[in-house]
Amino acid sequence: MYLHKIKLPSQKMTLEEIIAAEEETRVEETEVVAPEPAGKKRRARKAKKGKKKAKKAKKGKKKSKKARKSRKASKKSRKARKPRRARKAKKARKARKSRKAGKKARRSLAQRVMSALRALKGKATFAAIRKFLNSHGASVSKRRLRRVLRQLRKQKVVKLSKGKYSLTGKKLSKQSKAKKARKARKSKKSKKSRKGKKKAKKSKKKKSKKAKKSKKAKKSKKKAKKAKKAKKAKKAKKAKKAKKAKKAKKAKKAKKSRKAKKSKKARKVRKARKSKKSKKAKKAKKAKKAKKAKKVAKKSRKARRNRRRVARK
């Protein structure tokens, strides 16, 4: 296959050289033409796989090259970049310049009204002035224009006669701008100071609230501690009273028992004494009775003796 496309250097070539040449031609051409024998098919598949691998390798190389390029570009940009502070300072300078340019280009509405009156040959109605301003890029509401014209009339820069405004020839007071600027500064400062004061007040309030809360918490803790102590003291007092009552009861009982014992002893003693006295009295009575009986016996004996003597005589 593809042998007609291979340029052979000489007619005498080995089989291996022919196969290598065929493989090279297959790598170059993508389309597969007609069915081939089994060995050639295998070679074709191998060649395809090799081609795919080569493509993948090329893609990987491209990606790595791109990554390197991006890294180099980022490094260059970093080197080219100025430090952050310098960039900030430059930005601030630009902003200041733009502000100044804007201020120079800016004009007040009063100045525009005066220029409109000059353009309208010194005299113009309210509607004409408004129309002129709107056509020259200063779209103004009726209310605002009336206010500005009123201010100009107060300053005697403009006068109204027969429905037409005209210039008096007096210049706009530049002091008013300076005053306005001062007022604006003062108002800004006052606002800042108010804000600061408000913040300070809020912080103080917060602190005072926190302090109050802490004080309340401390007081509540102290009260709780005192209550606990009082409860403990009450319990201790009650316990002491109970102990004293118990002791008093025990003492009373002991006293009663002692008294009872003493009274028992006294009774016993009294009984013993009474029994002794009664015994003695009984003995004495017995002795007296015995003596009386003896005396009576003696008397009876004497009487008997006497009777016997009388009987003998």
Sorting pLDDT into bands at 50, 70 and 90, what band is 1? very low
Query: Taking the CA atoms of the chain, what radius of gyration do you get in angstroms?
Result: 71
pLDDT per residue as tens digits for the range 251-268: 888 888 887 877 877 888
Sorting pLDDT into bands at 50, 70 and 90, what band is 97? confident
Sorting pLDDT into bands at 50, 70 and 90, what band is 232? confident
Q: Give the least confident one: 112-116, 175-179, 288-292.
A: 175-179
* Residue 6 Cα distances to 18, 19, 29, 32, 38, angstroms: 9, 11, 13, 16, 22
pLDDT at residue number 28: 53
Annotated domain spans of the chain:
15-77, 107-173
pTM assigned to the model: 0.28
Sorting pLDDT into bands at 50, 70 and 90, what band is 7? very low
> Is the pLDDT confidence value at 31 over 50?
no
The strand pairing partners of 123, in sequence order, are 166
pLDDT at residue number 9: 45
Sorting pLDDT into bands at 50, 70 and 90, what band is 3? very low
The strand pairing partners of 124, in sequence order, are 165
* CB-side neighbour CA atoms (13 Å) of 41: 5
Q: Round to whole Å and give the CA distance between 23 and 39.
A: 12
Paired tokens of 271: 């009984």
Contact 1, 36 (CB under 8 A): yes
> Is the pLDDT confidence value at 37 over 60?
no
Q: What is the mean pLDDT of residues 155-159?
A: 90
Q: Check: CATH 3.40.50.1580 for 107-173?
A: no
Paired tokens of 169: 């020839």
- Tell me the residue type at 302: K
Q: What is the 3-state secondary structure (H, E, C) of the chain?
A: CCCCCCCCCCCCCCHHHHHHHHHHHHHHCCCCCCCCCHHHHHHHHHHHHHHHHHHHHHHHHHHHHHHHHHHHHHHHHHHHCCCHHHHHHHHHHHHHHHHHHHHHHCCCHHHHHHHHHHHCCCEECHHHHHHHHHHCCCCCCHHHHHHHHHHHHHCCCEEEECCEEEECCCCCCHHHHHHHHHHHHHHHHHHHHHHHHHHHHHHHHHHHHHHHHHHHHHHHHHHHHHHHHHHHHHHHHHHHHHHHHHHHHHHHHHHHHHHHHHHHHHHHHHHHHHHHHHHHHHHHHHHHHHHHHHHHHHHHHHHHHHHHHHHHC
- Of the two residues 41 and 94, the one the predictor is more confident about is 94
pLDDT per residue as tens digits for the range 159-218: 998 889 998 888 887 655 666 777 778 777 777 777 777 777 777 777 777 777 777 788
* Residue 162 Cα distances to 120, 125, 303, angstroms: 16, 9, 195
Sorting pLDDT into bands at 50, 70 and 90, what band is 15? low
Residues listed for the chain:
313
pLDDT at residue number 175: 55
Q: Round to whole Å and give the CA distance between 170 and 172.
A: 7
pLDDT at residue number 41: 67
pLDDT at residue number 125: 92
